[in-house]
Structure 1
Amino acid sequence: MTAILAEHLPSLFGPGRRPAWRRTVARRLLALACVALALSTVLGEVGPGPTRRVVVATAPTGAGEPVTQGAVRLEERPAAELPDAALTALDQVVGLMSTVDVAAGEVFTGARVLGRDRAVAGPSRRLVSVPLALSSPGVSVGDRVDVFVPGSSTAVATGGQVAALPASEDQGSLTEPTAVLSLRPEDAAAVIGALDADRAVGLVLIAHHVPSDAA
């Protein structure tokens, strides 16, 4: 070892250095090398944490659009970074409607798709994803609602039904709360028109009770 160090560090092992001093330097350098080797071994043994195989978007899917086979795949992700509701099978999302805008690389959760058991659109109905001006804490899935532009007393649409209320963690980069509504075609067109008039303004939902055959 001393010969190797002398070859690579001639300034420390030249003829002017005393043998005892050279041996001390060699021992210290050897100790440092051993510590470095031990650290690299320990760090190498600390691998990544546990992972889960989840459904990830490979292409954007807009709110209200069906999730296609080519827009998703299964991917291993660190379990600590995943939401508890992350979906783990492609058939949990393919063919279902996305309730929010989902960007490529984002993980699908149950609230990001409208499940078959929530197919409340029915004949002659349309599903529309609506940004809300308020969180509407009194509104629940299944409620009948009227839709208003903030500050207006005239409803944009009436007799809508709440199909889904994605939680904030399911909405990706969206900053406003969102609801998925089942609406008559003419009401769906009116809601979309109101949103197109000013996309920065969310709408307000007012829940009410109506007979179940009023849709």
Structure 2
Amino acid sequence: MKALKKNGDVDFTLIEGAENIRPPKPDILKVMSTIRARVRETLECPDQAPEFEHFRGGQQERDRKAGEIVHSEDLRYLNQHHAHSLRKPNLDAIESHRPLIGRFIVKLKRKVISLLWDSLLKDYFHAEKEFNSRLVRLLNDFSKYADSRDASNFWELVRKIDYDVNKAVERIDRAHDEQVAALRSSERRVFDSLNETANELNRYITDLKASEAAQMAKVDTLEAVTRGLE
């Protein structure tokens, strides 16, 4: 491989196989033709529904229970270790395997760590601890808010379903009462019409019987007159 430096930069044009190092240029015409083909297929099939983008999360993200975030192990760990930066390292754990200058190295390391921890980085560690405390406090408040909001949404949904069910039952009962009332009203009208028809028939029968009796009386009178004339 040979390369020529120009102003401190390497000229890859002289490197053997440089064409394999540079990424190939995209074929714009091929990409555009592919896009046009997809758009044309979509326009030619307007009744075909587009593919639904399903939820990409795992089963664990979809099956979270109420209060799971508040009592999660991660949140408990953050509450227990948010002030970890203020904990001074264990200086007794600093050791050296060198026999002669080992003590001096250990003392120097301990001195440097103490200087960094207690003097130079003290303000930074306190600021970091305050930041972590506020962040963990915000996470605690948010987890409680999310849990209470989920519970509120759940019971609000339960109340809404209960209200809708009660309204539906009331509408069904009202429709049933109206149908029963209409049926009874129709039955009463039918019975009244039948009674009125029966009364009219009875009157007609009575009138016919009276007319029959009058006709029979007239027939008897005619028969008597006829016998007298004979």
Report the TM-score, using the length of structure 1 for normalisation: 0.22
Report the TM-score, using the length of structure 2 for normalisation: 0.21
- Decide which structure has the larger Cα Rg and report it: 2
Q: Which has the higher strand share?
A: 1
Q: Which has the higher helix share?
A: 2
